[in-house]
Amino acid sequence: MKKCALILILLVTCPFTLAKDRPDSFDGKGYVGTLPDLTRSFEAVPEKKTTPEVNISKDFNSASEIKPVPRDNPAFVNIILKSEKTSQYVNDLNEFIPLLESIYDLIEDDSSVQIFNAKVYYFNKSADYFRDKYSNKPESQFVSYKRLMELSMHARSIALLRNEAERYNPYLAYGSSGYIYNPNNITEQLGYLKTEIEQTILILKESN
């Protein structure tokens, strides 16, 4: 009988005890239980600091530490060392120099009319292209341009003279009308042309 009375008292008083210990609301409290202590089995690993390796050369300015400049390499000389590129106009001028030198040699060697005229014809064609390329540009005011055009006209006239002389000489008497075809006159005209070629070559070379 006493046991039953004790159990009845416990059942009546227990809900009040639980209600007293329990909070009115769990809003914003998250988990309200007890978390296990995880630090007991966790051991922090210290962060390792690394230092970059630097190889310091004691003799940085010495000849043994500095690579020599590749001056024997054409690419280095033409691209790195040249501060300014040669203009296209100067490049075109330079192409005339060996051509004029060959005409000069033909006059000195007293080459045949056919060989001389063929070389002059090629020179005149090149000069015509050069004139068309630069006639409306500032380069047309250069001394080298004007001198080259004058030489082209002179060489053309001499080539025509030699060609006519060779064709008409057998039928002409060297009088007043036929004097221009006289071999002495042609030789004299070739001498003038040779001097003019020499002076023009000098002007073209000085334009570089």
Tens-digit pLDDT profile for residues 135-156: 999 999 999 999 999 999 999 9
Contact 197/103 with Cβ under 8 angstroms? yes
Give the amino acid at 84: E
pLDDT top residue among 185 and 31: 185
Give the amino acid at 65: E
| pLDDT above 80 (res 29) | no
The predicted structure's pLDDT at residue 176: 55
Here the tokens at position 198 are 């020499």
Helices marked H in the chain: 2-21, 74-75, 88-108, 113-134, 143-168, 183-206
Contact 64/58 with Cβ under 8 angstroms? no
How far, in Å, CA of 175 to CA of 168, rounded? 13
C-alpha torsion 114→115→116→121, nearest 10: 80
The predicted structure's pLDDT at residue 174: 55
Instruction: Give Cα separations from 133 to 89, 137, 139, 184 (angstroms).
Output: 10, 8, 10, 38
Mean pLDDT of the chain: 76
How far, in Å, CA of 123 to CA of 97, rounded? 10
Contact 94/204 with Cβ under 8 angstroms? yes
How far, in Å, CA of 97 to CA of 198, rounded? 10
Here the tokens at position 114 are 């056919």
The predicted structure's pLDDT at residue 30: 52
User: What proportion of the chain, given as a percentage, has pLDDT over 70?
Assistant: 54
How far, in Å, CA of 174 to CA of 182, rounded? 6
Instruction: Give Cα separations from 194 to 109, 133, 179 (angstroms).
Output: 12, 26, 21
pTM over 0.75: no
